[in-house]
Amino acid sequence: MSNEPANKNPRLWIVTELYYPEETSTGYYLTRIAEGLADDRDVKVLCGQPTYSARGIVAAKHEVHNGVEIFRVSGTTLDKNVIVFRLINMITLGLSVFFRALRNFRRGDRVLVVTTPPSMPFVVAIAALAKGASYVPLIHDNYPEILIAVGKSSQGSLLANSIDFFNRWLYKYAEKIIVVGRDMHDLLTRKTSGLDIPLVTIPNWAELESVSPSSRSENKLLGELGLRDKFVLLYAGNLGHPNDLESMIECADALRDNPEIHFVFLGAGVKRKWLESQIENFGLHNVTLLDPRPRAEQRVFLNACDIGVVSLVSKMLGVSMPSRTYNILAAGKPILALTEENSELARVVTEDRVGWIVPPGNAAALTQAILEILDHREELSSMGERARESALAKYSLETAIEKYRKAV
Examine residue 338 and state whether it is found in any structural domain, yes or no. Answer: yes
- What pLDDT was estimated at residue 4? 36
pLDDT exceeds 70 at position 363: yes
d(CA 105, CA 22): 24
Examine residue 213 and state whether it is found in any structural domain, yes or no. Answer: no
Could you tell me which residues come within 8 angstroms of residue 381 by beta carbon, excluding any fewer than 6 positions away? none
Compute the average pLDDT of residues 70-76. 93
Examine residue 131 and state whether it is found in any structural domain, yes or no. Answer: yes
pLDDT exceeds 80 at position 323: yes
pLDDT exceeds 70 at position 405: yes
Compute the average pLDDT of residues 373-392. 96
pLDDT in tens, 86-106: 888 889 999 999 999 999 999
- What pLDDT was estimated at residue 3? 43
257 and 179 within one domain: no
pLDDT exceeds 70 at position 5: no
Give the burial class of 376: count Cβ atoms within 10 A of its Cβ; 0-12 exposed, 13-18 middle, 19 or more buried: exposed
Compute the average pLDDT of residues 332-341. 98
346 and 238 within one domain: yes
Percent of the chain having pLDDT more than 70? Answer: 97
Nearest to 396 by CA among 308, 329, 305: 329
pLDDT in tens, 181-209: 999 999 999 999 999 999 999 999 999 99
Which runs of consecutive H residues, i.e. helices, occur in 16-140?
25-37, 83-104, 120-131
pTM (2 d.p.) = 0.93
pLDDT in tens, 264-312: 999 999 999 999 999 999 999 999 999 999 999 999 999 999 999 999 9
Examine residue 153 and state whether it is found in any structural domain, yes or no. Answer: yes
Compute the average pLDDT of residues 317-341. 98
- What pLDDT was estimated at residue 84? 84
d(CA 109, CA 117): 22
192 and 322 within one domain: no
- What pLDDT was estimated at residue 1? 37
Domain with 152 in it: what CATH number?
A: 3.40.50.2000
Examine residue 4 and state whether it is found in any structural domain, yes or no. Answer: no
Bridging pattern class, strands 62-65 and 68-73:
antiparallel
Could you tell me which residues come within 8 angstroms of residue 329 by beta carbon, excluding any fewer than 6 positions away? 206, 335, 348, 354, 387, 388, 390, 391, 395
Which runs of consecutive H residues, i.e. helices, occur in 226-358?
246-254, 272-282, 298-301, 324-330, 344-351
Examine residue 3 and state whether it is found in any structural domain, yes or no. Answer: no
d(CA 248, CA 69): 44
Helix, strand, coil proportions of the chain in percent (round to 5)?
40, 15, 40
244 and 202 within one domain: no
Which pLDDT band holds residue 83 (cuts at 50, 70, 90)?
A: confident
271 and 389 within one domain: yes
Number of domains in the chain: 2
pLDDT exceeds 60 at position 2: no
258 and 317 within one domain: yes
Compute the average pLDDT of residues 230-248. 97
pLDDT exceeds 70 at position 163: yes
Examine residue 23 and state whether it is found in any structural domain, yes or no. Answer: yes
Summary mean pLDDT of the chain: 94
186 and 75 within one domain: yes
256 and 130 within one domain: no
Domain that holds residue 310: 220-394
- What pLDDT was estimated at residue 8? 55
Examine residue 29 and state whether it is found in any structural domain, yes or no. Answer: yes
159 and 307 within one domain: no
- What pLDDT was estimated at residue 55? 65
311 and 199 within one domain: no
241 and 189 within one domain: no
Percent of the chain having pLDDT more than 90? Answer: 89
271 and 178 within one domain: no
Compute the average pLDDT of residues 207-215. 96
